[in-house]
Chains A and B, each alone.
Chain A
């Protein structure tokens, strides 16, 4: 079945120049293991088509069941150059969490999504 990432994780985003960082935090350790398989940098880059013009880097933080993603060239030049309403990328966390994922049936059942 399809689930939205926001059902499995929360997060926070911010900026460093023209790079946005999005921390994605799994609600449960078992979700983290699943997300580690599916939240590949390629998948994230594709999700942010039209926003992220550079590369996507993923860092794992198993100690807090989280990932830190760096989205390069995503903030219209960043800081005071940016013409974006959200120049600091504060809302890219929920843009990320809109992502739809294909959750295998056995996990969907086990986790009570069905």
Chain B
């Protein structure tokens, strides 16, 4: 058994800094590279891509990245765990095999984890029982069953652990929890058992701390952003994990960024619910048990974490089509910029009435004045410019197209000094809404499949 492993985070979301994972494998020692690509909305985007092309439906950015780092990870024996597989882990694996073949690295073994995608089982589940009711309202999923995009169970660390046991060097998953990606190597390397609740909870909290990438190492750092050195080369976080479930949050030397008690605390509270009851498929973690200690520069030690047995259910995220929105913007300059923008807003609302356009919601914000803090914003004297943003939401696509023709004409027919219209007419964007539900674990069969290139 290893007495320490180093787990590096390479992506906080699909679209995060492209060279971060490259630096994680090159700038210092790491044993695992984990990358989180999946937000709720990502699954529905991937599902739409797969409907158009059955070979798509995963995070395509992974492929050029693997082209760049596969030689490094093979040479240094670094394992890669990522949920980049989205709704098509199989196609993602084939694309990486193609890269491996071209690089002459034919020995690499790749595992896929699936069983999370239950979109095709929703009808059967509905027939067999009262499943997938809305977690908060209790409403039956029947009401949206005809406009589903995706339905995915949040799986835990166990199928990833199984893929590691079968010798996979790269593991591509569907919807595995962000935190499970980090916990899995600890279970595998340190031989933790399913009933080691405190240890499992520590692994989950380690995952929570690094799942948003640089947001723990000096990014979005409210308490002291001016103190953060070299943000242009910010180092992504690394967990140095120990068999007794203590761990250290750190980063490579010679990188920018900052890790201290304040940066770690800000990340601990990010997107948190009840801190005593952080529910995951593997364990329930208690964030009020976390003890932090700054043991050296850019090294925060975490200990004392407690956990308790998980529930009998998996969480399911179902995405479905729910109408349209659009946002339109127009800029007005000094003098009286706010007053002009307000006048333009009045005109647009009058036009919507006159044209009998039907929207469920019209929402106006004045960027530079109150967009972020709304009624809590302090009045601004004589702003140099104000951007009017008018948002609409509704179900009739034709009304959106008609409204799109109303904003730009205000340049000539509305209050003076309007500008910033180079983007042209706004286009309606489909709303993908989410339906959170629970499903008994006994109905779900997580799977892993590990294989090498066929020679």
Interface residues of A (CB under 8 A from B): 10-12, 14-17, 21, 23-25, 27, 47-51, 59-64, 66, 68, 70, 76-77, 79-81, 83-86, 91, 93-95, 98
Interface residues of A, dominant DSSP: mixed
Does B431 contact A12, Cβ atoms closer than 8 Å?
A: no
Smallest CB separation, B363 vs chain A (Å): 4
Task: List the count of A-B residue pairs having beta carbons below 8 Å apart.
Answer: 122
Does B376 contact A59, Cβ atoms closer than 8 Å?
A: no
Does A80 contact B271, Cβ atoms closer than 8 Å?
A: no
Does B222 contact A98, Cβ atoms closer than 8 Å?
A: no
Question: How many Å lie between the Cα of A52 and that of B327 in the bound state?
Answer: 22
Smallest CB separation, B297 vs chain A (Å): 20
Given contacts A50-B374, A68-B275, A95-B372, contact A79 B266 (CB under 8 A): no
Chain A residues near B367 (CB, 8 Å)? Answer: 85
> Which stretch in B117-125, B176-184, B288-296 binds the other chain?
B288-296
Any chain A CB within 8 A of the CB of B146? no
Q: Please give me the residue from chain A that is nearest to B215 by CB atom.
A: A12
Interface residues of B, dominant DSSP: mixed
Any chain A CB within 8 A of the CB of B454? no
Interface residues of B (CB under 8 A from A): 40-41, 220, 222-223, 262, 265-276, 287-292, 322, 325, 327, 361, 363, 365, 367, 371-376, 389, 391-393, 429, 431-434, 436
Does B288 contact A48, Cβ atoms closer than 8 Å?
A: no
Residue of A76, A80, A86 with highest tally of chain B CB at under 10 A? A80
Q: Which of B220, B374, B431 contacts A51 (CB 8 A)?
A: B374
Q: Please give me the residue from chain B that is nearest to A15 by CB atom.
A: B271
Does B391 contact A11, Cβ atoms closer than 8 Å?
A: no
7 tightest A-B CB contacts, nearest first: A23-B269, A83-B391, A50-B375, A10-B223, A83-B363, A85-B371, A91-B372
Chain A residues near B222 (CB, 8 Å)? Answer: 10-12, 93-94
Smallest CB separation, A19 vs chain B (Å): 8
